Amino acid sequence: MKQDALASTNFDYNPWRHERSRAFLEVAICPNALRVVDDKMKWQERIVLDPEILVGKPIVKGTRLAVEFIIDLLAEGWSENEISQNYPGLTREDIHACLSYASTVLHAEKLYPLKS
């Protein structure tokens, strides 16, 4: 498909979407392929992907809080204490697991430019 053919539709064209999804699936399906450093938290103990909860988005285990939501709060300047006070079921380790998960996904992401 060409980008100009999609421009007139409501479809959100993103040439990188497929590869991001593929990288995400590789992370989710092949946990043995992950780079886990001994001093890094193993996010797999706290982050789960369940198609029945939030349409399969990664969430903090035992909650309905998406990893992307926690990362967004941090990006907006919320401190760990503010997040913990507003979401009492969330621990400091959960917040760190969200960051570790995001780091792992970004390390696995590969982008390939499309030929025009």
Task: Read off the pLDDT of residues 65-98 as tens digits, 9 standing for 90 and up.
Answer: 999 999 999 999 999 999 999 999 999 999 999 9
- The residue that leads in pLDDT, 34 or 114, is 114
41 is a domain residue: yes
Say how far apart CA 105 and CA 110 lie, in whole Å.
10
- In a domain? residue 114: no
Residues 6+ apart with CB under 8 A from 91: 84
Say which CATH number the domain at 32 has: 1.10.10.10
**Domain-located, residue 61:** yes
Question: Hey, what are 54's tokens?
Answer: 């939030």
Diameter of the chain by CA atoms? 50
Q: Mean of the per-residue pLDDT values for the chain? A: 75
Q: Are 77 and 65 in contact (CB under 8 A)?
A: no
Beta-ladder partners of 48 = 59
Predicted local distance difference test score (pLDDT) of residue 18: 40
Q: At what angle do helices 67-75 and 92-108 cross, to 10 degrees?
A: 100
Residue 42 burial (C-beta neighbours within 10 Å; 0-12, 13-18, 19+): middle
pLDDT band at residue 4 under the 50/70/90 scheme: very low
What pLDDT score was predicted for residue 91?
Answer: 94
Q: Does residue 115 lie in a domain region?
A: no
Look at phi and psi of residue 77 and say left if phi exceeds 0, alpha if psi is from -120 to 50, else beta: left
In the chain, the number of structural domains is 1
State which residues form the domain around 94: 3-108
In a domain, 23, yes or no: yes
| Banded model confidence at residue 40, pLDDT cuts 50, 70, 90 | low
